[in-house]
Amino acid sequence: MYYYYDATYILVIAAFFLTLFASFGVNSTFKKYNEVYSSRGITAAEAARKILDANGLYNIRIEHVSGNLTDHFSPKEGVIRLSDATYNSASVAAIGVAAHECGHAIQHQTGYVPIKIRNGIVPVVNVSNALSMPLFILGLILSIGPLAMAGALLFGMVLVFQLVTLPTETNASRRAMKTLDEMAILEGEELNGARKTLTAAAMTYVAAVASTALQFLRLVMIANRRRR
């Protein structure tokens, strides 16, 4: 019996563990600081409202959404949605997460360049993502190396999107920490807890970029073998 060994599986395994490690980090950090409460006693939703109003974003709504850490800002709808774990919580972790989403709203208000780029390439990324794997697999089945390589390169647009997304996320966290400090929403060790929570969250985006880069490398390696 013969066994087929593909060395590129190592890249898949590495990508899996990177994502797993980052997910564990953000969940454990959030859980830890979700038990540390703000001395001011305001909830994450109340803190978000204060930050938005202070920046003149009275039109941005704050809504409750189900799920755990499903918090997000929807620019098209003009709404920040805070999850079950965040909305009514007065923990420093929840307030940090809410402030981060406010950071995204402020980015749109100020015309932050990376977020404009990210929004501009979304249609291209969606089309590339939809076509990449069908072309790649078809290229392998038909033994057409250039077709498989085209699919791999289209998958690379997902990596480009994630690379552009990374600075928007880190910038939103910096804005959040600065605002929480300047408005005295959190103080001292409370700020430290919020910072650690947002840093752990940022690592999930770093891991996503690294994971996608490894997957992209694997596809290119496989397609290149077919070209030979």
CA separation for the pair 103, 95 (Å, rounded): 12
Under a CB-based contact definition with an 8 Å cutoff, are residues 162 and 114 in contact? Answer: no
CA atoms within 13 A on the CB side of 135: 20
CA separation for the pair 159, 173 (Å, rounded): 21
Question: How many CB atoms within 10 Å of residue 53?
Answer: 11
CA separation for the pair 78, 180 (Å, rounded): 22
Which candidate in 46, 101, 169, 190 is catalytic?
101
Annotation says 46 is catalytic:
no
CA separation for the pair 81, 73 (Å, rounded): 6
CA separation for the pair 205, 47 (Å, rounded): 25
Question: Which residues are part of the catalytic machinery?
Answer: 101
